[in-house]
Structure formats: structure tokens, C-alpha cells
Amino acid sequence: MPATTALLCDLSASDYDEILALWRRAGLPVRGEGRDAPAEFARQMARGIQRVIGFREDGRLVAVAVLTHDGRKGWINRLAVDPAWRRRGLARRLIAEGERWFVQDLGLEVWAALIEPHNTASLALFEAAGYQRSDILYISKRLRPGA
Ligand SMILES: CC(C)(COP(=O)(O)OP(=O)(O)OC[C@H]1O[C@@H](n2cnc3c(N)ncnc32)[C@H](O)[C@@H]1OP(=O)(O)O)[C@@H](O)C(=O)NCCC(=O)NCCS
């Protein structure tokens, strides 16, 4: 696999279409009428508790992660790498940049991610980065379907 020259970048609401297209290429579900809708995405960006980072190769977005925090923990969300650019360390580098941001800029010493049990690639990735599984069950409630 050739080395990548992809450049780390901060993304903004103006990159929305590219981010959604990448999530779709990577197989992540997109809630286009809910929290991934353009206006909602712009609102999340404006709140100041979210940073979206990615890698561009020749200008094309090939990896993305949404970093958020709740004041206690840093969260790595919606991490996705273009299928053609996997196993070159891009996700590992996005996680490392997330951790750098959490600890150096925000003073947060606990970092977390939610991973579906069948997602073996993501589990392997985070475990290789030093994250430990827990038996905590994720529960959630939605105001409306598709939110
Ligand atoms: C999970 C995902 C983000 C990994 O991206 P990636 O850029 O290929 O990962 P990296 O190259 O940084 O991998 C770093 C390490 O993670 C582990 N890893 C990554 N993908 C793996 C896989 N498919 N199988 C086993 N281990 C894997 C390996 O230890 C790897 O190191 P190595 O290549 O030296 O063996 C990518 O497969 C993806 O986008 N999947 C679909 C979307 C998704 O499920 N996102 C996660 C939501 S929680």
C-alpha cells in the first residue's frame, strides 16, 4: 500500500456535502432529515463544542471524524475513511489529533467512542489505540423517528 500524502485539515459547515458523501461511501448511516441535516450540522458547528477534522488527498476528502466534548469526556464520533484509503493509518492519525485536542486544548483526560459490537474494524482500531471495552449498554430516546 503506497504511503499517503494526505493533509490533515479542519472542516466547516461549508464542507457539509463532501462530509456526507464520504460517510455514505464509508457505509455509515446518514440521518439526512435529522441530526445530519444541513441546518442541524451548521448549528452543531456553531455551538463551539465540536470540531470536525479530516484528511484531504489531492483536495479530495478521504477521512473524517467529528470530535465533541461534554465538559467531562472527549468523544470521537462519525469516524470514516474512504474504502480506497483504508489501512494507511488515517483513522489512527485522526484519533491521535482528537486526543491531542482533548488534552492540550480542553484539559480532558478521558476519551471515548461508541462502537456497534459487529464493527470489528472499528473495535480493532480503537483497541490498537489503547481504548478499553466496557460492559456499559448505550440507551437513547428520540423525540421523533429519524432524529
Ligand atoms: C474503522 C475505519 C475508520 C478504520 O480506518 P483506517 O484508516 O483503515 O484505519 P487505520 O489504517 O488507521 O488502522 C489503524 C489500526 O487499526 C486496526 N484496524 C483498522 N482497520 C482494521 C480492520 N479492517 N481489521 C482489523 N484491524 C483493523 C489495525 O490495528 C490498524 O493497524 P495496521 O493497519 O498497522 O494493522 C474504517 O474501516 C472505516 O471507515 N470503516 C467504516 C466506518 C466505520 O465503521 N467507522 C467507525 C464508526 S465507530
Beta strands at 74-81 and 111-112: parallel, antiparallel or unpaired: parallel
pLDDT at 61: 98
Question: How far is ligand 1, taken at its centre, from the CA of residue 120, in Å?
Answer: 9
Residue 82 lies in a domain: yes
pLDDT of the residue at 24: 96
Looking from the CA of residue 126, the nearest atom of ligand 1 is 16
Cβ-in-10-Å burial (0-12, 13-18, 19+) of 92 comes to middle
Residue 89, ligand 1, Cβ within 6 A: yes
Q: Is 23 within a domain?
A: yes
Does 135 map to a domain? no
pLDDT at position 147: 86
Residue 20's domain comprises 7-128
Low-confidence residues in the chain, pLDDT < 70: 1-3
Q: Is residue 100 assigned to a domain?
A: yes
Helix 120-128 and helix 90-100: axis angle, to 10°?
Answer: 50
Say which CATH number the domain at 84 has.
Answer: 3.40.630.30
- The pLDDT, as a whole number, for residue 33 is 87
**Which pLDDT value is given to residue 1?**
61
CA dihedral 40, 46, 49, 52 (to 10 degrees): 70
C-beta 26 within 6 A of ligand 1: yes
Give the chain's domain count: 1
